[in-house]
Structures are given as C-alpha cells and as structure tokens.
Structure 1
Amino acid sequence: MNQPTKFDQRSILTPLFLSLLITEVLSSLGQVILTFALPLHLLNLTGSASLYGLVTALALIPSVLLTPLGGGLADRLNKRTSMAVLDFSTAVLAALYLLLSRKLDLVVLTIAVMMDVYGLHALYSPVVQAAVPFIIDASGEHGNERLTRATALITQVTSLTIMLGPVLAGMLLGFAGIGPVVLLAGLACLLSSIWIALALPIPRRPAAESSRGLLKNLLADFAQAAHFLLARYQLIVVNLLVTLANFVFAAFANVALPYVVTQLLGLSNQLQGLAEGLISAGGLAGAVLVAVRPAWFTLERVRALLAACGLCLLPIALSLFFAAPPMVSYLVLLASLAVAVGLIQCVSVTFIAYEQTETPKDLVGKVIGLTMCLAMAAMPLGQALYGPIIDHLPMPAIMLAVALIMVTASLLARRSMRAHS
C-alpha cells in the first residue's frame, strides 16, 4: 500500500515566496508606523479620546470603500506593478506630511494622510493575498495545506512588523518627535517599492477581455463575488460575526488602548509603543499556531475563538475597577489583549485560507476584497462611537458590555449555523 507523502515545509519557502515576505515586512512596517504614530501624536497634544476616535474612524472610511475595488484590481492588473506603485505612493504621503505639518492644521492633515494611507493599504492587501495562489503550487497532495501555511507565514511576518513597528515608533516619538518617525515609515515603503520592482516577478494569468469598461467590470466583479458568498451560508454567518467583532471589540480596543495607557494610567509614549508591540506578539503567536496546527482551525471554531476574545477584557476591567497600581494594570492589559489578538489572528488566517482554497483562482481577489470590506465596514462607526463613550462612561463598565455582546453573538451564530446544517 502506498504511504502518503509527508508535507515538506520547504516546498513553500521558494525564492519568490521569500521575496514576497520581504516586501510584506517593509510595506507593513511603513504603514503600521504611520497609522500608529500620527493619531498618537494628536492624542498627546489634546488628551481627547473623542478626537482620537473621530480621526481614526474617518481614516478608515476610504479603506472600507476601496477594499472591494482592490480585490477586483488584484485579479485584473499586474500584481507586481500594483504593489510597487501603492508602496511608492505611501512613501510620497510620508514626505508630504513632513513638508506640510507646519503649514496646515494638524488635525486636518493627520486625517487626510491617514485616510490616504489606509486607502492605499486597502488596495494593497487583496493584491498580496491574491498573489499567493500564483506563487504557491496548490495542486496535488497537500496543496490546500501549502496555501494555508503560506497564508499563515504572511500573517506571521505582518504580525511581526505590527509588533515591532509601534515599539520602534514609540521610542522614536518619545525621544525624537514625530518627524523621524514619519521619515522612517516613508523610507520603509520606498525600499519595498524598489524591492518589488527588482525581485518579485509574480506569475500572472491574463484576465478575460471585456469591452464593458473598467467601472462596469468592477461592478460585475462585485456582483460575482457576492453571488459566490451568498451561496455559502457558513461564510455569510462567519462574515456577519467577524463584522460584529470588528464593530464591538476591535474598534473599542483601537481607541481604548492608547487612552488607557497614556491617559488613565498616565504612562509614557514609549510604554504605549511597547504595549502595541507586545500585544501584537500575541497575533504573531496565533499565526504561528495556525501554521503549525492548521487542522485545529475550522470555520466551526471561529465562534468559540471570538467569544473567548471578548472574555479577555474581563481581567482588565477588574484591574481598573479595583484601582490596581498603574504598572499592574498595564501588565494585565498586555497579557489579556495579547491573548485576544492571538485569537483574532487565528480567526483571520483560518477565514482567508478557507476562501483561498474554496474559491476559483480568478475570483480569489474579488471574494477576499469583498469579505475584507464587510469585516472592515464596522470599524469607523465603532471607533467614532467609542470616543465619546470612553470620555463619559467608566472603562470597566464598557469592557463588561463588550464581553457580554461578544459571547452572546457567538452563541446566536452557533444556533443559527446548527439550524441550517
């Protein structure tokens, strides 16, 4: 009897895939540094959670609107050219911020630059995810496992930059000010653009010719992706659950973390940057876990993972409620949110890998773009809502409410999926 061949991790780590990982490190580092430092700089100047929430909410609007467009473009345009142009554009935005920061209103400039950065990243991410099936051979035995592990590896390097970027940005912001931070981000994106042009010849499959025009083609792409998703009830439920999690949990964490560290606990920008980095280490651990044990993670387990994510807020709420010393509350915050981010990363990798393996190649970018749009659409609303709530309500009570909503939503999703199984 023929024995099944053993999965070979080296089949993933080709020179082309390693070049994609290097690109992801540089590009993600530049984007993370900018989106971390610019709103934190405003929070330091104003101390207002409402303004911080408003700025970060407005910044995400282009991202929500452009993500489906990025999916369609990812399937139709040359992926290498698209990625290089998008990274170069981010570097230009960093340069413009440095040139205009003393001439324009800082709030308006920060919103404008962050809107553009998030918008460019929304176009960029689907291109990267859509490129994976063209770089990794998914045919034959272990094909789906290769794609899952490749997606997890990309998520790992992204998590690593999300972990290191805020630490580096926080240190620079505390000691040298906002200028060197923005300069570093721009250089990272510029290097990424150059590396893509020189070392990332992504294979391409010519898109089918059409005489309808770009706009009609993109609308047709959207309809095609929506039709694909609507035929799969499990994906609909998981999409709704992830969207709710972004609205209730992720939006809250994005606004609450810097406010708790720098305002409630009175700690420094350096410790805020360290907090972002160490919490992101949880995301890296989650991606590593999925890569090592992909069979553990299925769509059916997404509900439990998101419920556990909400429960991670309870230790932080107790620490703040009983007025623990600032460093004690800080450490509880780090540990709890690191676990929560790890769980979210497990959900993200599982979801994207499932779509990559179950979606036809010519639909991968469109479907991922649409699902990312649905998941992200709630973020601006949530962040804008949480700013005034945090300014006027006790933080422990808000955290308790978030945890209860997450658990309740997960239980309802479980019942709904069982009823349609």
Structure 2
Amino acid sequence: MSAPAPTPPVRRPRLALGGLAVAHTMAQAGNTITVFATPFYVRSIGGSNTEVGLAVTAATLPIVLGGPLAGVLVDRIGYRLSSIAADIISGLTVLAIAVLGSTGSLPLWGLLAVLFVSGLFDTPGQTARTVLLPSLARGADVPLERAVGLVTGAERTAMLAAAPLGGVLVMLLGPAQAFFVDAAFFAVSALLVTALVPRATPTHEDDDEQSTEKDGAGYWRQLADGARFVLATPLLRNIALVVLVLNAFDTARLNVLLPLYALEELNGPNGELGNATAAGLISGALAAGALAGAALFSAWGHRLPRRALFVGAFALTGGPLSVAFALGAQTFPLVAVAVGTGLAAGMLNPLIGTLRLELAPPRMLARVQTLMISIAWAGIPVGSFLSGVAADVFDLRLVFAVIGVAYVLVALAPLTGGSWRQLSARRAPPSR
C-alpha cells in the first residue's frame, strides 16, 4: 500500500490560524447582529410579538435542520471552500434584507424566507472553520486545546462586541440599514479565509482510518449509527434533553422577550431605537460574563466537581436574570445581573463540550458532536415561537417568572441520581 502523497507545507501557519480565528469572530458577529436586529425590524414594519417570535424561529430553525447534513456537505466540498461559500451566501442574504427593507419592499413573509435561507448556511460555515483547526494547529505547532480555546474565545468576543454594536446600529441607522454592516462582517470573514487559510494543510495518519470508514458506509448509515450511540448512552441522552429544554428557555428570554422587554419596559432616551441600545448592553454584559466564565473554566475547571458545577451553573444561568426581568428591573441592574448570568453560562459550554468529547468513541466523534449540537438547538425555534405567542397572550413579566421557575427545576435534574452520577467521573479524552 503506497503512502499518501505529501501535501505542501503551510506557509506562515500561525498567521493562518490567527486569520481563521478572526474570520470566525467576524462570521459570529454577523450572526449575532442578524438575530439581534430581526425583532426590531419586524416591529418597525408593524409586526406583532407573535410575528417577532416567528421571525427568530425562521432564523434558527434551518440551523437545526441543516446541522446533521452539514458534515457530509463540508467533507465533499472541502473545508476552506465551504467556509468561504457559506460566508458569501450569508452575506448576500442579509444584504438583501438591508436593500429591500430600506426601500420598504420586504414584507414579513419575504423576511422569513430570506432568514431561512441565510440560516441554512450558518452550520456548514461554522463546521468548516472548526474542522480546519486540527490541521492548522499541527502546522503551527500549537496544542489543539489552545486552538479550540482561541476560537471559543473568538465566539465570545463576537457576542461581546456585536450585541451592543447591533443596538447602536439599530438606533443610528435603523433596523433595516443595520443589515448593511451585518453583510460587511460576512464579507470580511470570507476574505480572511481566502487570503490567509491555505488550500492544503498537513494530514496525519488518522485521516486514512476516517476515510476508510467513510468509504465503507453511506452517509445515512453513519448518521444512524451516531444517533443510536447517543440514544443508547444514558448520560449523553440526558445531557442532550436538558440542554434542549434550557436552550428553548434561553432563546425565549434573550432573542424574543429581551427586545420586547426593552421596547415595553425600559426607559430609553430615544424611544424604541434607544431601547435597542439598552438591549444591546444587556446582551453584551451576558457575553462579557460568558467570556470570563470560559477563562475560569480553562484555568480551574479540571479541579471542580462536575455535577455540582453543572447544576449550580445552570441554576444561576436561569434564575436571577429571569427574576430581575419579572420584577421590572431597568437597564443598569439588568446589566449587573447579566454579567453574573454570563459568568455561570460561560463555564457550562466548555464543561458540556468536554463531556461530549470524553463520551464519544473516536470513530464517530464528529457525528456525535453534530447530533448533540442539533438536538440542543432543536429547542431554539420552539422557544422562539412559543415565547412570542406567550408575550401576546400574557403579561411579559409573568412570562419571565414562569420561565425562571421552570428553568431552575429542569437544572436540578442531575440531583435525581441514576446516570447523572457519571457526571463526576473523569475520563481520558478519545485518542486522535
């Protein structure tokens, strides 16, 4: 059996890795602005709270539907090209919102259609940038954990900067015009990957084993094998279900109810558009706290008891901020509580990511990750739509109160025992 042909060495590998991280930041910032500006655009054309929830659902549902298919598409098209193509298509879709919305030619049904198309390409783009990391990290002689941490920090930085920026853009330019800047972020991401990420990156011997498996089984069979493994592993199954429910609550609170709360409850200096800035500050505070939480987990997470951290962090993520909204808090108290909420949430994502890596066998690592993420995201469109309906039917503060109570009750599930006791076990990560 002949050895695989060597691929050309990566020039300036650390620059390529840094460029990928910055490109990821730009793309995530674009996604954040899209989700943030959408409710304000719907309200600007006279949409109801239910229609706000429907629009956010249209932006997030395709991520759930396209998630399981993304791995195959990215493998067939190529990682670098997939990233570039996804950013270009996402940029063109939000540019269409900006152009048509600015001229008053984009009705609600048209917005829903464009958001759905845009969302279909978010997961392939993010997946492509993620799977580029191992080869770029090897070429730059950087530990994979550090490379993953770099990109995770980039995501948090994007949320930290883009949420308040989205509020400022909505206030200064208008809801539709904010999408012009949104399109520019996707364009920068595509240009960075084109210019800095090489066409070919070093391979390693594990790639041959993975390719052999892909050749021996079709896509649907591999997908079914991964699904069966997730469903047959009690701890993975329980984590997926809890995260699904709590993601539904989170998207209800932050993507739908927070903009509505800003419009109805906060005392903005410039009417509705000033309230968009307040909502952006709250979202930015959440991202800042999450960035700090991720850093704390990186430093001390291996020393903390996992089950206690899982329960405590989830309870703190869902309880205090919901109570603050239910009590009618104004901008600056909400910003303070949001920092603490983000701190707790920021420790959860790397913990859950670590558990997914430890529990999945190496031969189906990617499938398990994709399926777990898709299951987790499945609650987001449901939460978006139902929260919009609830806000039209019930008092907004009451909706926040109900979500807060339900959130904490679900977060306490690991205390019931059973397979949840395995949370405390430390496992060796799968060998590469």
TM tier relative to shorter chain:
0.7 to 0.9
Matching residue of 2:344: 343
Asked whether the 8 Å contact 2:290–2:342 carries over to 1, the reply is yes
Q: 1:238 to 1:20 in 2, by over 3 A?
A: same
Q: 1:234 to 1:190 in 2, by over 3 A?
A: same
Q: Which residue of 126, 147, 150 corresponds with 1:150?
A: 147
Asked whether the 8 Å contact 2:160–2:287 carries over to 1, the reply is yes
Determine whether 1:175 maps to 2:186.
no
Q: Distance in 1 between matches of 2:316 and 2:214?
A: 49
Matching residue of 1:273: 280
Q: Distance in 1 between matches of 2:184 and 2:342?
A: 28
Q: Distance in 2 between matches of 1:403 and 1:78?
A: 43
Determine whether 1:291 maps to 2:298.
yes
Larger RCO: 1 or 2 (CA < 8 Å, sep 6+): 1
Asked whether the 8 Å contact 1:152–1:290 carries over to 2, the reply is no
Question: 1:372 offset after TM fit, Å?
Answer: 0.9
Q: Distance in 2 between matches of 1:358 and 1:55?
A: 36
Asked whether the 8 Å contact 2:94–2:118 carries over to 1, the reply is no
Deviates more, 1:166-175 or 1:20-29: 166-175
* 1:265 counterpart SS class: coil
Q: Which stretches in structure 2 are left out of the alignment for 5+ residues?
A: 1-12, 269-273, 423-432
Q: Distance in 2 between matches of 1:150 and 1:296?
A: 22
Q: Distance in 2 between matches of 1:261 and 1:178?
A: 15
Asked whether the 8 Å contact 1:56–1:383 carries over to 2, the reply is yes
Q: Distance in 2 between matches of 1:418 and 1:385?
A: 31
Q: 1:119 to 1:417 in 2, by over 3 A?
A: farther
The letter of the residue matching 1:93 is T
Residues 90-129 of structure 1: matches in 2 within 5 Å?
90-101=90-101, 102=103, 104-129=105-130
Q: 1:57 to 1:419 in 2, by over 3 A?
A: closer
Q: 1:308 to 1:81 in 2, by over 3 A?
A: same
Q: Distance in 1 between matches of 2:202 and 2:262?
A: 45
The letter of the residue matching 2:302 is A
Residues 13-412 of structure 1: matches in 2 within 5 Å?
14-46=14-46, 48-75=48-75, 77-101=77-101, 102=103, 104-136=105-137, 146-178=143-175, 180-201=177-198, 202-203=201-202, 205=207, 208=211, 217-267=218-268, 268=274, 269-296=276-303, 300=307, 301-317=309-325, 319-320=327-328, 329-356=330-357, 359=360, 363-412=364-413
Matching residue of 1:7: none
Q: Distance in 1 between matches of 2:25 and 2:161?
A: 10
The letter of the residue matching 1:236 is R
Asked whether the 8 Å contact 1:72–1:366 carries over to 2, the reply is no
The letter of the residue matching 1:174 is M
Q: Which stretches in structure 1 are left out of the alignment for 5+ residues?
A: 1-12, 321-327
Asked whether the 8 Å contact 1:79–1:127 carries over to 2, the reply is yes
* 1:177 counterpart SS class: coil
Q: 1:332 to 1:315 in 2, by over 3 A?
A: farther
The letter of the residue matching 2:100 is L
Q: 1:203 to 1:237 in 2, by over 3 A?
A: farther
Matching residue of 1:3: none
Percent pairwise identity: 21
Q: 1:228 to 1:418 in 2, by over 3 A?
A: closer
How many residue pairs get aligned? The number is 395
Q: Distance in 2 between matches of 1:417 and 1:154?
A: 34
Q: Distance in 2 between matches of 1:261 and 1:305?
A: 26
Q: Distance in 2 between matches of 1:419 and 1:372?
A: 19
Q: 1:419 to 1:266 in 2, by over 3 A?
A: closer
* 1:208 counterpart SS class: helix
* 2:327 counterpart SS class: helix
Deviation per residue, 1:140-169 (Å, 9 max, x gap): xxx9xx544433332221111112112222
TM-score of the pair, normalised by structure 2: 0.81
Q: Distance in 2 between matches of 1:92 and 1:284?
A: 30
TM-score of the pair, normalised by structure 1: 0.83
Cα RMSD (Å) of the superposition? 3.0
Question: 1:125 offset after TM fit, Å?
Answer: 2.4
* 1:401 counterpart SS class: helix
Asked whether the 8 Å contact 2:30–2:183 carries over to 1, the reply is yes
